[in-house]
Structure 1
């Protein structure tokens, strides 16, 4: 049985024992289950589960950071009296190759203000991205490769 499923079942058991099925109580039960499973991680073989969870949380924190920074940059660009923008579409060579990873990367790029995933090539090697300011596409490619794409590869491989 998947350790994530065990974690969810333990959280549901916590909610049933306490008699409160609110989201906050379930989340608390989930955290308690993580703690309980971490105490017996060698016996249940869950060492990989916790390191993956840590890497996924790291990806989420990177996304929130990029979301805030990008929103700030877009706000400054929009509010500036002289909008010196060069919008455009550029090709981004993908290192991720699984459909799940490509979907996550495309969605994270789209959810970040100022950028939009437009299309993926038929061979799934190129992602086409529209940027509000594509004056330096190489820098944007580097930011995506060192940021979202590397974190996705860490979290899901």
Structure 2
């Protein structure tokens, strides 16, 4: 997987050097072109394809996280700007599927980066995470969303 990633970055820099334009759009276009070139080459020689399944999942997770981030920012902004007090704070005990310290840290970072949520504590056996939620209407719905939308997709990328 690392070999394919490094080859993809090399092809990206070759593309940027050939075009003579170093900007985000050209870099992203070069990365995408390199990705498809490597995919076609590896498909024909039946090489390791894990990289080609993981990269789209990473980009999908990034877009999903940015969507959730924007949605949470607008919710907090609406509460700050309007005179109504819409907060319904609460603490949720969430059972994690993440096992390693790195997985738990990444999950905690994803939760803490989203406005309105912060990780308070972790159980000693590292099975439960205690999360403070600013807008908690339904605990089970929050747990389900966190499990299916963030943790499961994050673990697909990391494992």
Q: Which TM bucket (shorter chain)?
A: 0.7 to 0.9
Equivalent residue runs for 1:111-150 within 5 Å:
111-150=113-152
- Counterpart CA distance in 1 for 2:4 and 2:53 is 13
State how far apart, in whole Å, the 2-side matches of 1:116 and 1:90 are.
11
- CA RMSD, Structure 1 to Structure 2 (Å): 2.3
Structure 1 gaps of 5+ residues are none
- For these two proteins, the number of residue pairs brought into alignment is 157
Cα separation, partners in 2 of 1:19 and 1:68, compared to 1, 3 Å: closer
Q: How big is the shift at 1:25?
A: 3.6
Asked whether the 8 Å contact 1:55–1:155 carries over to 2, the reply is: yes
5+ residue gaps in structure 2?
none
CA separation of 1:133/1:25 partners in 2, compared to 1, >3 Å: closer, same or farther? Answer: closer
In the superposition, the TM-score normalised over structure 2's length comes to 0.82
Q: What secondary structure, in the 3-state scheme, does the structure 2 residue paired with 1:118 have?
A: strand
Q: Are residues 1:13 and 2:19 paired? A: no
Runs ≥4 residues deviating over 6 A: none
Q: Distance in 1 between matches of 2:46 and 2:18?
A: 23
Describe the superposition over 1:109-133 as per-residue Cα deviations: whole angstroms up to 9, x where unpaired.
Answer: 1111111122323322111211113
CA distance in structure 1 between the partners assigned to 2:153 and 2:134 by the alignment: 24
Matched, 1:99 2:98: no
